[in-house]
Structure 1
Amino acid sequence: MDFQKCPYEHTLFVKIGNDAKILIVYLYVDDLIYTENDSAMFVEFKKSLMDEFEMFDLGNMHYFLGLKVVQSDYGIIFFQKKYVREILDRFKMLNCNPTNTPVEFGLKLNKVGRGTKVDSTLYKQIVGSIMYLKATRLDTMYAVSLVSR
Structure 2
Amino acid sequence: MLAPEAREHAKKNGCDYLGPLTAPSLSEYPHHVRCRYCERLTAERLADLAFGCRCQTNPRRDRQTSTTTTARQAKKRDLLKDSGLSVVDWWDRKSNETADWESVTVKARREVSWRCPDYGLRFTKRVLDMVGARKCSECEPKRRAA
Q: Which one scores higher on RCO, CA 8 angstroms, separation ≥ 6?
A: 2
Indicate the structure with greater strand content. Answer: 1
Regarding TM over 0.5, the answer is: no
TM-score (norm. length: structure 1) = 0.23
Give TM-score, length-normalised by structure 2.
Answer: 0.24
Q: Which has the larger radius of gyration?
A: 1
